[in-house]
Chains A and B, each alone.
Chain A
């Protein structure tokens, strides 16, 4: 299945892109957490930011055990505290 993944703040710096399309094998139970693991394998720079503090699917905040479906748009937002 194909999902669009958007990156923000430090994630964007680590990946070097603001969004990608990711092809992942459709297994039973592709959760947001598993998707993030697949991203870490592809972009090792994400490993040090691996705490999924705010995950969003199709503009809705979700838990990390939420399932991801074909065609979903997933975004990860590392905590932002600067001013």
Chain B
């Protein structure tokens, strides 16, 4: 309640005008766009390679409130891609490690860390009060739980995933676009996914750009489209995706 009131009365300060000058000067962005970012609350689910890039660029863009969620601990084999976690963080919780860096990147925003794993029974409460969520999780059971909750809460979600030199991104607007279960009715559980950090960064930044465009009031490009990025051959493909009328997650919400 207090936060809602705070958000209503938020304005762009002189410091904001200075700090974000280079993006405020983008045509179609302006002070209005900056104010919208400042009022935004975004959840970044999973602070691995993709989540590191997403949360860093949302933080420096001035998203007013970032919540980072991850129950995992930093391991040596994470450091090839999870750039928010450093050698000194080995063994620490990832949400905590990420939040500490994000607060240093931008002291003007609020950063909340949640040291929990996303599951069907807690995800709705974790998303409560946020405007959007970026799905940077590393397994399908958590991704499906997040998807189902976002659809129920009518919350836009940005999906980003990687494999090797490849990555995929889409923007999910419940009732308007396909949800994750429409695209992949069944997930594939892998023990260990091969990933190079630069691809996780590229994919995370595309998802962050989609989120920023959404808040600023520019049309997200990846509505009803799945971006397929093939970094090995340097090809971007846009595939037209469609809703599954039988989708167990979003079918009830279909506009008749």
Contacts and interface: CB of A to CB of B under 8 A. Distances in A.
Interface of A: 8-10, 13, 18, 49, 51, 53-54, 56, 59-61, 75, 77-83
B186 A82 contact: no
Interface in B161-193: 161-164, 166-168, 178, 183-190, 193
B185 A53 contact: yes
Given A8-B228, A59-B240, A61-B242, A80 B168 contact: yes
Given A18-B233, A81-B161, A83-B160, A61 B239 contact: yes
A61 B240 contact: yes
B90 interface: no
B49 interface: yes
B188 A79 contact: yes
A80 B239 contact: no
Main secondary structure of the interface of A (DSSP, over half): loop
Contact of B186 (A61, A75, A79, A80): A79
Contacts of B139: 81
Given A79-B186, A81-B138, A81-B140, 16 more contacts: A8-B166, A8-B230, A53-B184, A53-B185, A56-B239, A59-B240, A60-B242, A75-B239, A79-B188, A80-B167, A81-B190, A81-B193, A82-B162, A82-B163, A82-B194, A83-B48
A49 B185 CA distance: 14
A83 B136 contact: yes
A77 B239 CA distance: 11
B46 interface: yes
A80 B193 CA distance: 9
Contacts of B143: 81
Interface string B211-250: 0000000000000001010100100011111100000000
Contacts of B195: 82-83
A77 B237 CA distance: 12
Contacts of B189: 81
A41 B184 CA distance: 24
B78 to A, nearest CB: 11
B98 to A, nearest CB: 13
Given A79-B140, A81-B138, A83-B138, A61 B241 contact: yes
Among B48, B166, B189: residue with most chain A CB under 10 A? B166
B153 to A, nearest CB: 21
B214 to A, nearest CB: 20
Contacts of A9: 163-164, 166
A59 B237 contact: yes
Contacts of B161: 80-83
Contact of B240 (A53, A60, A80, A81): A60
